[in-house]
Amino acid sequence: MSKKNTRIVISGGGTGGHLFPALAIADALKKIDPAVELLFVGALGKIEMDKVPAAGYKIIGLDIKGLQRSFTTDNLKFPVRLIKSLLKAFSIVRSFKPDVAVGVGGYASGPLLYAASLKGIPTVVQEQNSYPGITNKLLAKRAIKICVAYEGMEKFFPADKLMLTGNPVRQDILEIGGKREEAFAHFNLSPEKKTIFLTGGSLGARTLNEGVLNHLEEFKDGNVQLIWQCGKFYYNSLKEKFNEQDYPNVKLLEFVSRVDLAYAAADVMIARAGASTISELCLVKKPAVLVPSPNVAEDHQTKNAMALVSKQAAILVKDEIAKSELIPVTLRLLNNEDKKQKLAENLGKLALLNSADVIAKEILKLVKR
């Protein structure tokens, strides 16, 4: 009787911050064991349902959503969605028969990891942030291993389960050296001009977008150009607000699929302070102005950003003043070569390398066990 291939299920998503580490872990597993069988479980209607198949992996969606902070009729449907998702998760576990279940955060990881743990399947939680979400806090009680990106996480998780791994990032981001010429050609920008890459994440960030709108004239004729990932919620309305032909130095994009080229082109970054973004900045060593989102649990993005700011590795602009101050602060940084170099050096000292490989090897150890 032939030995069956190792089977791993990876659950979670909802945002790029959860999804891209999951894809990096999957790629690392495939690199170590090309025969491994991988299945993703995500939330219907979320980013993973498109991006996972595009990356070459199979995904099954659960009809699960989180509770809204304010009362909505959607909240009344939560118990029904949760029960349906749990039943489907048990069905997935029975049919796929994973050797290990991995949760990366997000609503879908809850039902899947809970079902797997009840069936005696070892589970791994990967927590990206300095302040964990409620799903991962609950799942950690049943997990065998909890992979984290920040020190001091024993405040939230059992210390004997913790492993400091850093956050996995996509392989293409680690390979931006020598891509500047390709990058400027890809975005149709000038290699002679200084370049800012702004990203509000896959969904976009209203404050960052309004900060640019308030200072568009800075990019009209100057020696500065902008790669502007505005997010799918804002793209159509922003296209109506300015004529791109009047602003050849501005490349407005709903989503940057070749983020490696955006990093390669950038002299300075503007971003929210999500955990994946922080990890990427440390690895690519790009000076950044961070605007933590105020709309996250326990203000964890400010904590993420301060982990860099306290080491003189980034600049923080508060959300409430970003509409007026973001672009002026960024332009001052862009023109300060000493400051940029210092930030880049300090970022490099904070990088945790090979996170995806480390996590993948830990997952495969559980299979052997």
Q: Which of 225, 228, 272, 215 is nearest to 254 (CA)?
A: 228
222 annotated ligand binder: no
Place of tokens 């028969």: 97
Say if residue 301 carries a ligand binding annotation: yes
Instruction: Please state, as a whole number, how many other Cβ atoms lie within 10 Å of the Cβ of residue 355.
Output: 24
User: CA-CA distance, 295 to 298, in Å (whole number)?
Assistant: 9
CB atoms within 10 A of CB 365: 13
Closest by CA position to 155, among listed 124, 123, 127, 113: 127
73 assigned ligand-binding residue: no
What's the first-to-final CA gap in the chain, in angstroms? 21
Measured in degrees and rounded to the nearest 5, phi and psi for residue 128 equal -85, -30
Q: Is 223 annotated as a binding residue?
A: no
Beta carbons of 314 and 284 less than 8 angstroms apart? no
Structure tokens at 83: 């029960």
Query: How far is Cα 232 from Cα 206, in angstroms, rounded to an integer?
Result: 11
Q: Check the annotation: does 206 bind a ligand.
A: no
CB contact set of 208 (below 8 Å; sequence gap of 6+)? 198, 200, 270, 272, 291, 322, 326
DSSP 106: S
Which among 25, 121, 31, 44 has a CA at the least distance from the CA of 85? 44
Question: Under a CB-based contact definition with an 8 Å cutoff, are residues 283 and 204 in contact?
Answer: no
Interatomic CA distance for residues 228 and 198, integer angstroms: 5
Please report, in range form, the residues annotated as the binding site for UDP-N-acetyl-alpha-D-glucosamine: 15-17, 129, 170, 202, 301
Please report, in range form, the residues annotated as the binding site: 15-17, 129, 170, 202, 301
